[in-house]
Amino acid sequence: MERYYTSFEPLRRASIRASKTINEMCLRMKILLAKIGLDGHDRGVKAVRDALINAGVEVVYIGLHKTPEEIVEASIQNKVDVIGISSLTGAHHVIFPKVFELLKEKGLNIPVFAGGIIPDEDIPQLKVMGVRVVFQPGTELDEIVRQVKKLAK
């Protein structure tokens, strides 16, 4: 038996659901992750990438051995909301100031977070530069996801 609706209510409800889904997709945050300098160990950044993806975040991972110029250019091209940089080699002393210099030159105000092997005594200097959060080894992935999502708002 065919069913005829006397109102457009089912169509209206379906339209509202579709609109919400489209809005959620459009509002989805996008994070860029990169490994800097000569650092070739990417197990940690890949774990962070996967955790963010599983939490519904769009992640652009540009890979190993990236320069500040490549990081900033990829951030512009991909229109990211947050930049995450992983450092295990001590290159953060050189790379982060250059990243912030380039962001400033381009007129961009993109939040930046750091992760990796960063000595406790270097964290205050990074924060003065503009690094919003530093994640050290042992930080729970759920905590990283929570704080990165907060940065994107």
Rounded to an integer, what distance in angstroms lies between the CA atom of residue 95 and that of residue 45? 17
The pLDDT score that the predictor gives to residue 51 is: 97
Cβ contacts of residue 104 below 8 Å, gap of 6+? none
Q: Along the chain (153 residues), what's the average pLDDT of each consecutive run of 10 residues?
A: 55 57 60 87 93 96 94 98 92 93 97 95 96 96 97 88
The pTM for the full model equals 0.82
CATH code for the structural domain at 28-152: 3.40.50.280
Half-sphere exposure at residue 22, Cβ-oriented, CA atoms within 13 angstroms: 6
Rounded to an integer, what distance in angstroms lies between the CA atom of residue 144 and that of residue 134? 10
The pLDDT score that the predictor gives to residue 37 is: 75
The pLDDT score that the predictor gives to residue 26 is: 43
Nearest to 87, CA basis, from 125, 116, 126, 122: 116
